[in-house]
Chains A and B, each alone.
Chain A
Amino acid sequence: MQVTEYKPKIVAFCCNWCSYAGADLAGNNRLAYPAEVKIIRVPCSCRVNPMFILRAFQRGADGVIICGCHPGDCHYTSGNYYTRRRMALLFSMLNYLGIEKERTRVEWVSAAEGAKFAATMNDFVQTVAALGENKRLEDLRCKL
């Protein structure tokens, strides 16, 4: 019997200045991470509206990760602090709704941290894969 490996759907929001560049550096250095990760470029992690994350889960994403500059290094000085506070609230609310904490993450990745980017993605995909598919918020009407 052939077992098809379960492949989670991961949406990664990366800020233009640090994390997106970090992802590019992972590419330059050919540091592999699972293809399940698809990146959306945003100017700053603080552009990520909780609505986008809810939308992703509604459309069947299994995990959502937001990457931004390290605290103190934000291109816009304070954007990542907003992200940190907003996401802490959102994630605990999602947890309450049954979306496990492990499916959501905020990570600081600088433009110099290609290796950290790849390692973070490897770890995140593994963690999410271990939880299995996310059915909690998925709106099947969207699939019609």
Chain B
Amino acid sequence: MQRIGVFVCWCGSNIAGTVDVEAVSEALKKEPGVVFSTNYQYMCSQAGQDIIKNAIAEHKLSGIVVCSCSPRMHETTFRKTAAAAGLNPYMVEIANIREQCSWVHKDKLTGTEKAIILGRTAIAKVNLNAPLTPGESPVTKRALVIGGGIAGIQTALDIADAGFEVDIVEKQPTIGGKMAQLDKTFPTLDCAACILTPKMVDVAQHEKIRIFSYSEVESVSGFVGNFTVNIKKKARYVKEDVCTGCGLCTEKCPQKNVPNEFNLGMDNRRAIYIPFAQAVPKVATIDPRYCTMLKTGKCGVCSKVCTAGAIDYKAKDEYIEEKYGAIVVATGYNPISMEKFDEFAYSQSKDVITSLEFERLTNAAGPTAGVLLRPSDHKHPKTIVFVQCVGSRCSGAEKGKEYCSKICCMYTAKHAMLTRDKYPDTDVYVFYIDVRTPGKAFDEFYRRAVEEYGVHYIKGMVGKVSPQGDKLMVQASDLLANKQLHIEADLVVLAAAIEPDASARPLATMLTASMDTNDFFTEAHPKLRPVESPTAGVFLSGTCQGPKDIPETVSQAGAAAAKVIGLLAKDKLTGNPCVAHSNELMCNGCSSCERVCPYGAITYEDKEFRMPDRTTRMRRVAKVNEAVCQGCGACTVACPSGAMDLKGFASAQIMAEVDAICK
């Protein structure tokens, strides 16, 4: 039997005005387990807390009920009070007789009656409370960043600058992501490489950062503070620590016809390649799909020309196992495939390109050295049509995405403006559904494209693009003028919607991090915890969480880093003790609980049980990882055998509350 103390607060006249506090503390004296009951003007004040502490000592209380304001207000206060007097803080229950009684009822008799019932309910619960101790687990002071685009780079730099070790896993041979492919960036028009490459160099030189390029995450186990990750370093057939990045091999390799993915296939590279001049790490990689030496055993040119002796045709994939305290997902995005949008003739004409291809065509390091030339005949295009929202905002359609890709209005304005700036004799048309330019200096930027640079913005959709000779016939509607347009264009640029990287879904499964229907990672709370995933210890950075431009990506990357630093700065993690717990004797190992847990907190283990006939039997039982469980209770209801219960909100406790209310 508990020895319960009841403390009724007046809250000045806030409670005492509508509740007869004296009558309440008198009535509650008679409840089972109550050995002491009193009331006081302000329980939360120093004097009020002293009353509680003294009563705990004097009456050897094993549990207390404070009838006061909402637990959201002072539960922590009274828990601390109890702890200071040597009582387990989880032996405290609050009866909310202010927000849910005195403030919403006017009649004193009614208020008093209800306050007594609420007090009685809390007493019924405390009678079944048990002391709880939060679990503790150590923190591995190292972070893993998956994806080395601008998001991953910024997050890694911020974490490393705070003094913690960071590993970046990037699946491409170099870090940099999509930003490395861009030419100039809105809204300021500074060149992407000029602002990105110094950061890439910082990453390479940072003593706290290791880069695993050309690598992928194979498996993840463990939980917040204690992840174990298996990383696969794909064989690049070049010794990373020996290669000087001189690039001689990439000039001598006889296999010349490999589509260059960095230029989106608009020119070719060799079978051994360095993606671009400022690549980090600046190390060559052999593409096994094209290398004749690897395929047939004949060639070996690169090995002959490499003075450093870095080539190793016998290299194998390597696996590295490493421990991390926190994991940041920064896997970014890709433009969607234009396959389903053939009304724009993307597959029929080389001169119908995507916006990312346009970036390469205007980039000084691109296939045309920055001169805007048509991919088909290398002539200057005189009329260019930009089509916005290709695959974005497609409601209910089976092709395309329902969401707005957010960045296309701005980069199309950028492309249109830069074209008119460099080639004033070019006619530039932009077809749009809406122009969306919220953001600092964004609308001003768009207006400059229209007003200063004379770009023709036309509200309406392009219906069809048909190649005719060396021209592209564009059929479109002008909604404002209410007429059909036919434009003879030389180049058509499609602002393709963006979608999460295809590897994000399997990665999410490995991390037990949740995703939305579009495969963007979901945040723990859309407003209040935007850079944390619901899975403790997993954080989100950049476009893997939703479409974003660079400024937004960088701010989110910094925010994710701040959260990681906050976690790694701790030596131990104290958990929430109100977690699920399964009774092994009742559990039948059915997995019902595992399926509903949003955090992947439940695993199984085989345990030996003694049977009544003294034999032993192995049985599979559920086990809750207390560091991962967030205490929602979903599993407790899913469990068909009644094995799963929630500490602090146990079924018996809640039923006792129900009984007390209905008495």
Contacts and interface: CB of A to CB of B under 8 A. Distances in A.
Interface of A: 9, 11, 20-21, 23-24, 26-28, 30-33, 35, 38-44, 46-52, 55-56, 59-61, 72-73, 75-79, 82, 86, 118, 142
Contact of A77 (B534, B631, B661): B534
A67 B374 CA distance: 61
B161 interface: no
A119 to B, nearest CB: 12
B594 interface: no
Interface in B623-642: 630-634, 636-638
Given A40-B658, A59-B658, A75-B525, 18 more contacts: A27-B98, A43-B578, A43-B633, A44-B632, A44-B634, A46-B633, A47-B634, A49-B651, A49-B654, A55-B659, A56-B658, A59-B659, A72-B526, A77-B514, A77-B598, A78-B634, A79-B598, A79-B633
Interface in B524-561: 524-526, 534
A66 to B, nearest CB: 12
Contacts of B121: 38, 40
B104 A32 contact: yes
Contacts of A30: 103-104
B651 A43 contact: no
A82 B593 CA distance: 12
A82 B596 contact: yes
Contacts of A72: 526
Main secondary structure of the interface of B (DSSP, over half): helix
A49 B637 contact: yes
B99 A28 contact: yes
A56 B662 CA distance: 7
Given A9-B662, A35-B114, A27 B99 contact: yes
Given A28-B103, A32-B104, A86-B637, A76 B658 contact: no
Interface residues of B, number: 47
B395 interface: no
Contacts of B658: 11, 40, 52, 55-56, 59, 61
Interface stretch (B105-113, B131-139, B425-433): B105-113
Contacts of A61: 658, 661-662
Contacts of A55: 655, 658-659
A128 to B, nearest CB: 14
A24 B633 contact: no
Contacts of A49: 636-637, 651, 654
A9 B660 CA distance: 12
A78 B110 contact: no
Nearest to B663: A59
9 contacts: A28-B99, A35-B110, A39-B96, A43-B631, A44-B633, A47-B636, A47-B637, A51-B651, A77-B524
A51 B653 CA distance: 13
A61 B650 CA distance: 21
A61 B659 CA distance: 9
Nearest to B121: A38
Nearest to A16: B72
B272 interface: no
Contacts of B101: 35
A46 B634 contact: yes
B355 interface: no
B104 A27 contact: yes
B633 A32 contact: no
Contacts of B662: 9, 11, 56, 59-61
Contacts of A77: 514, 522, 524, 534, 598
Contacts of A51: 651, 655
A72 B48 CA distance: 41
A49 B70 CA distance: 24
B105 A32 contact: yes
Given A24-B99, A46-B634, A40 B598 contact: no
B313 interface: no
Contacts of B638: 82
A31 B106 CA distance: 10
Interface in B119-154: 121
A76 B636 contact: no
Contact of A38 (B114, B524, B646): B114
